[in-house]
Amino acid sequence: MRNLGSINLPRQSNHASENSHEHVTTIAALATAPGKGAVAVIRVSGPDAAHVLAGLLPTRDKFPIRRATLAKVYDYHQEVIDEVLVIYFHGPASFTGEDSFEIHPHGSPFIVQKLLARLYELGCTPAKPGEFTRRAFLNGKMDLTAAEGIQQLVDSNSEHQWKAARQLASGILKDHIEALRADIIGAMAYLEARIDFPDEGDVKGVELDPIVDKVKAIDSSLVALEKSYDSGKIASSGLTVALIGAPNRGKSSLMNAILKKNRAIVTDIAGTTRDYIEESCLVNGRLIRLIDTAGIRKTEETVEKIGVTASQEILKSADVVLFVSALDVEGAEDTTYLEGIDDAKIIRVVNKYDLNFHYEPKPGEFPVSCISGAGLESLKAELSARVDRSVATIGNQAFISTPRHLHAIRQARKALQGFFAGNEDGAFDEMLAFELQSAVSQLSSVIGSVDHEDLLDKIFSDFCVGK
The residues that touch ligand GTP, with contacts defined as CB under 6 A, are: 247-253, 266-268, 270-273, 294-295, 351-352, 354-355, 369-371
Q: Measure Cα distances from 414 to 54, 75, 190, 437, 457 in Å.
A: 55, 59, 21, 12, 26
Please report how close the Cβ of residue 264 comes to Mg ion at its closest, in angstroms: 6
Please report how close the Cβ of residue 324 comes to ligand GTP at its closest, in angstroms: 6
Pick what 370 binds: ligand GTP, Mg ion, none; C-beta below 5 to 8 Å, kind-dependent: ligand GTP
Pick what 228 binds: ligand GTP, Mg ion, none; C-beta below 5 to 8 Å, kind-dependent: none
What letters, b where the CB count within 10 A reaches 16 and e where it falls short, cover 412-448?
A: bbebbebbeebbeeeeebeebbbbbebbbbbbbbbbb
User: In the chain, how long is the greatest CA-to-CA distance?
Assistant: 89
Pick what 270 binds: Mg ion, ligand GTP, none; C-beta below 5 to 8 Å, kind-dependent: ligand GTP
Count of other CB atoms within 10 angstroms of residue 338: 16
Q: At what angle do helices 159-169 and 172-196 cross, to 10 degrees?
A: 40
Please report how close the Cβ of residue 305 comes to Mg ion at its closest, in angstroms: 16
Please report how close the Cβ of residue 252 comes to Mg ion at its closest, in angstroms: 3
Residues at the site binding Mg ion, with contacts judged by CB under 5 A: 251-252, 272-273
Nearer Cβ to ligand GTP (47/307): 307
Cα separation, 171 vs 334, in Å, equals 48
The string of DSSP codes covering 371-399 is TT-TTHHHHHHHHHHHHHHHHHTTTTS--
Nearer Cβ to Mg ion (152/273): 273
Pick what 307 binds: ligand GTP, Mg ion, none; C-beta below 5 to 8 Å, kind-dependent: none
Nearer Cβ to ligand GTP (252/402): 252
Do 397 and 228 touch, CB atoms closer than 8 A? yes
Nearer Cβ to ligand GTP (156/312): 312
Nearer Cβ to Mg ion (272/397): 272
What letters, b where the CB count within 10 A reaches 16 and e where it falls short, cover 202-216?
A: eeeebeeeebeeebe
Half-sphere exposure of 273 (CA within 13 A, CB side): 32
Nearer Cβ to ligand GTP (181/352): 352
Pick what 352 binds: ligand GTP, Mg ion, none; C-beta below 5 to 8 Å, kind-dependent: ligand GTP
Please report how close the Cβ of residue 326 comes to Mg ion at its closest, in angstroms: 12
Query: Which residue number places its CB atom closest to ligand GTP?
Result: 295
Please report how close the Cβ of residue 180 comes to Mg ion at its closest, in angstroms: 46
Q: Measure Cα distances from 119 to 42, 81, 91, 112 in Å.
A: 10, 12, 19, 10
Pick what 349 binds: ligand GTP, Mg ion, none; C-beta below 5 to 8 Å, kind-dependent: none
Pick what 312 binds: Mg ion, ligand GTP, none; C-beta below 5 to 8 Å, kind-dependent: none
Do 218 and 436 touch, CB atoms closer than 8 A? no
Which segments of 259-395 are extended strands (E)? 277-283, 286-292, 320-326, 346-351, 365-367
Please report how close the Cβ of residue 82 comes to ligand GTP at its closest, in angstroms: 53
Nearer Cβ to ligand GTP (7/277): 277
Nearer Cβ to ligand GTP (31/294): 294
Which segments of 105-161 are extended strands (E)? 125-126
Please report how close the Cβ of residue 330 comes to ligand GTP at its closest, in angstroms: 15
Please report how close the Cβ of residue 313 comes to Mg ion at its closest, in angstroms: 17
Q: Measure Cα distances from 103 to 25, 111, 397 in Å.
A: 19, 12, 38
Nearer Cβ to ligand GTP (218/308): 308
Pick what 205 binds: ligand GTP, Mg ion, none; C-beta below 5 to 8 Å, kind-dependent: none
Residue 92, preceding peptide bond in cis (omega within 30° of 0): yes
Q: Measure Cα distances from 67 to 60, 72, 107, 231 in Å.
A: 15, 16, 21, 42
